A and B are shown apart, each in its own frame.
Chain A
Amino acid sequence: MASEFRLILKHADQPGYTPDMECYMRHGGYEQLKKAFATPARDLADGKKQSPQEVVRDEVLKSGLRGRGGAGFSAGLKWSFVDRKSGKPIYLICNADESEPGTFKDRQIIHKDPHQLIEGMIISCWANDVKLAYIYIRGEMPHGAKLLNKALAEARAKNFLGKNILGTGYDLEIHVHRGAGAYICGEETGLIESLEGKRAYPRIKPPYFPAVLGLYMCPTIVNNVETLCHVKHIVAMGASEYAKLGTPNNTGTRIVSLSGDVKRPGYYEIEVGKATLGEIINDPAFGGGLRDGRKLKAIIPGGSSSKVLKAGEVFKLKRKGADGQMTAVDVPLLDLPYDFDSLQQAGTMSGSSAIIVIDDSRDIVDCLANLSEFYAHES
């Protein structure tokens, strides 16, 4: 029986939990920032030395953390691509555009626990020698932008931001930047154009890999809200403990946005791969099944850009057998573990982890037409 595992949303929905600094501090807030700052340098087996920042970057890599914004790319690997030799400033942008239809997870963090995001961001910025960072929040979240601005002001007042943070000599400023209602701003190069004050036309990569030529043609890290929150927990737990959450190559937790034809739509945080699509849709602790008398027709498993899966489909997944050999096994749709790799092997993706359920009362052509209209609008 699968159940929720709340790491990122541990406090968010507790009665009385509020998005202000005092409440966050009462719940151990900014302790992981202090812990990160106090990271000792590390001697490696080959005689090389790792600086405290390199140690934290290495921990993020070893934790197996993969981006929660859509592509599921290793966060540590992305950070390792950053051009640190150019002499140019390095920027970090938190992608809070939350524009993939069906997705409403970052909204929960921003509105209920903004300091968790800010702490994760400060640690990530420090580890990457970033001195100026932005939170790019979608235009249709005006209250979220206000909450973040208030939280940033509180963090400045406590010297978690600003000059010489907590006496470490490290300077960092974070600002909120509001989008204005264009879906393509969620794509990272479009987002960078938008932050430069231009139309959000995506740049062609190569050569515009943000890690090398990003904001103002400087090395730039773009990470999703949820991804940056996980960094705080990696510091708290250490990479190897963190990597025990979830499943191999699909570590940690993930907030799933469930909507459409289920009894209990909502957001559910799971250990990645520890719940199946069927469990998320049908278990009483999750979606609670379809409405009475209805049968499943199709699932959009990872935001509206992911390939639609039809009820009854069976997929060939590679699994390690008892003898250690990889074999192909048949896995029916509802038994697909909800993780990055299984969905990819099923020919689709977990994307922004937004599941939209469609029942047998719906015309699938209408549903797909609705989504194509979205893409027509937004192109």
Chain B
Amino acid sequence: MTFSVPAILEAEIDELITHYPVKRSASLMLLHAIQEHFGHVSREAIEWVALKLGLQPINIYELVTFYPMFRQEPLGKTHIKVCRTLSCALAGSGVLRDHFCKKLGLDSHKHGAQTTPDGKFTVEFVECLADCGNAPVVMVNEDLATKVTASQADQIMSKGRAN
């Protein structure tokens, strides 16, 4: 499969590069743009970004492996991040994650991100999402769901199933 970046995305990327006096600084912003478009950052994408910025692929690869938000494999269409840090834990985020896992047939004892076999959902525990006053907090793709109850969790999942 050949990797190709559509012209509109490349124009956006070229504009982002102009924000920095040193091209390398644009790395994270380029990776975000790529991931938003393709859903993940593939090997080919890493090489493409490196070439674009005049860097070695390893310079980009080490960012993709360091920064938790970047992923090298496609994830579920609905990406559910449950906050596990203290304020959310006190508000029951552990039970909430179990609830998601159980309803989606995932193993709640497993650590790390898990994706359903149909590719519809990925569930993972993440650290503080900076909205602790509204615990428990769940990020669903780009949106934040706050004071999440079991029934709201069910709604999130039925919306995701329809996607």
Contact = CB atoms under 8 A, between A and B. Distances in A.
Interface stretch (A8-16, A47-55, A366-374): A366-374
Interface string B114-127: 00000000000011
A139 B67 contact: yes
Q: Which of B28, B53, B126 has the most CB of A within 10 A?
A: B28
A173 to B, nearest CB: 8
B31 interface: yes
Contact of B132 (A183, A259, A367, A371): A259
B66 interface: yes
Q: Name which of B53, B59, B62, B133 has the most chain A CB atoms within 10 A of its CB.
A: B133
A138 B19 CA distance: 18
A364 to B, nearest CB: 11
A246 B157 CA distance: 47
Interface stretch (B2-10, B85-93, B101-109): B85-93
Interface in B16-33: 19-22, 24-29, 31-32
Contacts of B75: none
Interface residues of A, number: 54
A196 B86 contact: no
A140 B130 contact: yes
B139 A266 contact: no
Chain B interface extent, by class: 35 or more
Interface string B26-68: 1111011000000000000000000001000001001100111
Contacts of B66: 182, 199-200
B153 interface: no
A232 interface: no
A178 B90 contact: no
B127 A183 contact: yes
A362 B94 CA distance: 14
B61 to A, nearest CB: 11
B101 to A, nearest CB: 18
B73 interface: no
A173 B20 CA distance: 11
B55 to A, nearest CB: 8
Nearest to A105: B130
B25 A196 contact: yes
A259 B133 contact: yes
A142 B142 contact: yes
Nearest to B127: A374
Interface in A163-188: 173, 175, 177-183
Contacts of A98: 130
Given A102-B87, A177-B19, A367-B86, 13 more contacts: A99-B128, A99-B130, A102-B128, A104-B130, A140-B139, A178-B29, A180-B31, A181-B126, A260-B86, A304-B85, A367-B89, A377-B127, A378-B127
12 contacts: A101-B128, A104-B132, A173-B19, A178-B28, A179-B67, A197-B26, A265-B134, A267-B133, A304-B86, A356-B132, A358-B90, A370-B84
Interface of B: 19-22, 24-29, 31-32, 53, 59, 62-63, 66-70, 81, 84-87, 89-90, 126-135, 139, 142-143
Please give me the 8 A-B residue pairs with the lowest Cβ-Cβ distance, nearest first.
A180-B67, A197-B27, A259-B132, A197-B24, A181-B69, A259-B87, A101-B128, A181-B68
